[in-house]
Structure 1
């Protein structure tokens, strides 16, 4: 049988979600910094190209 959730449990989950969203934002900023400084080496397909060093991707479909 499922355990009922209390207000404390819900509050703790919301707080954890908030912390994780902040961590995601931090990691996205780190990735953007890495991609901005990378001297890209692209692997190309007919529809996209992707840097093999940092994962930056561009669409070639216009």
Structure 2
């Protein structure tokens, strides 16, 4: 799935690494990647997360 930071700054955990992110950054996350995040500034931290929840649907 993908993550796009809309506003603010934060820190995002990908596997064992912590990555600083800010507005305008895009992350592509592989399946089953351990993750976490927290805001890193005084203002709001907002991001848009896309995840394909229908990837197991049969094609017919």
Larger relative contact order (Cα-Cα within 8 Å, sequence gap ≥ 6): 2
**Is the pair's TM-score, using the shorter chain for normalization, greater than 0.5?**
no
TM-score (norm 2): 0.21
More strand by share: 2
Structure with more helix by fraction: 1
